[in-house]
Structure 1
């Protein structure tokens, strides 16, 4: 029997004799025990984690926008972890599942999570944050160019965005610059065909490719600088998620090229 099944859970709400959900301050999370449905390898050191929330309709319904995240707590760990939700909100609504892309780092809570088995129980808060505010780059005819940037596990909320739909097929230029060290560390390659069918051109960028690689190499920001091709900065939106240096440098490049800062979306 897993240690997760033997350890006691915290109360679903803070322990107070007169506490009610309506009376709780907004910043106090409500914890819901939820079982693991599956954990599968997504790429080298990356795992696709599915958690069943079908018995918690309020939890499932809390995921309303792509780019939202939640807190996850393992009973034998002192602090919770923040995880971006990789699946689109429609998945929780239709199947009662949350999906995550988790990078396993030695000695981390993520490593413990990725080592769990089907049926092991974790605790989740409801979805948090406003996600990617796509209203800022709508309607599609006014923002025909959308540039998307992701590195590593930062592709997780980007997947949620793409599979939620944001009118990519109604825009003339939607590009995803997706950086990883090599193809073995690049998740969701099996979804690229569907993403391209939805109107998103995939631009994989490898920082340490092997000799057979003929596409973009180096870092995402350098690959974008080489390509650019922003025909109308005022009609351009951007979405960024990933490594901090990348996000800061890409944002600076876009603003310098005339893209309005309020049209550059992040989920945090």
Structure 2
């Protein structure tokens, strides 16, 4: 039996079947709700059920708390309708213009950017080009067909090769494969583009970018896209890492400063040999120190879930950032298989 879902405030509606998640059913009928990981871990797709009931499904502990469920919230990537629904969610109109595709690619170049960060450049078949928004990601499919998500680090105008930054995760089968076995000219299949983390170009507010670790990759793509199209809004980029070596493209970020992008690197555990004299501590706290009132800003945050979640919580509750001006992509790791 099909049920119906009404999206507020847009007034759009779509049918949903018992086996479908709200996110999948919406996308099938042309309505794109915000999402990130699609597996109940990052919380980007969190929204409110105004009327009706849902099966919340399986999600990572902490992504949806008992109090949030009691308040009517759910994760649309996991939740299934058990009655007709009225939900509250933003819609991302621009994503619907780009088809998600399954494509082969050839490894054109491999470069170790840091002891635990590898960059890959993938080349598509002749006469193929991937259309995407700066900040989106792709799912690389392992030999077993399991998806592994990585953000695109290049802007669309530099789309001849697709650039990925991959951190070596202890015990991670795919990342171990990348660091120890993958070779130039190997073939990788992927699905994409995916995600709703991209620059809202129609805004006029100053922008704060916050990245931790390889969360730098999609921020890099967005900043280079913004520079390419000539966006004039003030932009300030914060990059948090443990030690100096983790700022694996420090020179690139410093180059942006000459083009008007303010840059603040922050180290949490600088080594004596780093000779670090810059900002220290947690990156999201450094932003709060500089911008105690974010009511007139937009924030784009990407990286470890603990950083993204802390930024969202503290900026909206302590720094007056409007809820709908926080855009994020939290990097969650697949099971070690």
Q: Same fold (TM over 0.5)?
A: yes
Q: Which has the higher contact order (CA 8 A, sep 6+)?
A: 1
Pair 1:243 & 2:286 matched:
no
SS of match in other structure, 1:209: coil
2:112, 2:139 → 1: CA distance?
22
Contact preservation (8 Å) 1:54, 1:97: no
Per the alignment, do residues 135 and 113 of structure 1 end up closer, same or farther by CA in structure 2, a change over 3 Å counting?
Answer: same
Extract unaligned runs of 5+ from structure 1.
1-24
SS of match in other structure, 1:222: helix
Contact preservation (8 Å) 1:49, 1:114: no
Q: Which of residues 80, 102, 111 is equivalent to 2:166?
A: 102
Match of residue 213 from structure 2: 152
SS of match in other structure, 2:197: coil
Contact preservation (8 Å) 1:147, 1:239: yes
Contact preservation (8 Å) 2:197, 2:327: no
2:100, 2:179 → 1: CA distance?
23
Deviation at 1:162, TM superposition (A): 0.6
Structure 1 length as normaliser, TM-score? Answer: 0.77
Deviation at 1:45, TM superposition (A): 0.2
Map 1:215-226; keep pairs closer than 5 Å. 215-226=278-289
Deviation at 1:133, TM superposition (A): 4.1
Per the alignment, do residues 49 and 235 of structure 1 end up closer, same or farther by CA in structure 2, a change over 3 Å counting?
Answer: same
Per the alignment, do residues 87 and 183 of structure 1 end up closer, same or farther by CA in structure 2, a change over 3 Å counting?
Answer: same
Q: Which moved more, 1:241-250 or 1:149-158?
A: 241-250
SS of match in other structure, 2:215: helix
Number of matched residues? Answer: 229
Structure 2 length as normaliser, TM-score? Answer: 0.62
Structure with a larger share of its residues in strand: 2
Match of residue 17 from structure 1: none
CA-to-partner distance for each residue in 1:89-111, whole Å, 9 max, x for gaps? 1111xxx2100010012332122
Spell out structure 1 runs of 4+ moving beyond 4 A.
Answer: 25-30, 166-169
Extract unaligned runs of 5+ from structure 2.
1-27, 30-37, 39-98, 331-337
2:305, 2:167 → 1: CA distance?
16
After superposition, the CA RMSD in angstroms is 2.5
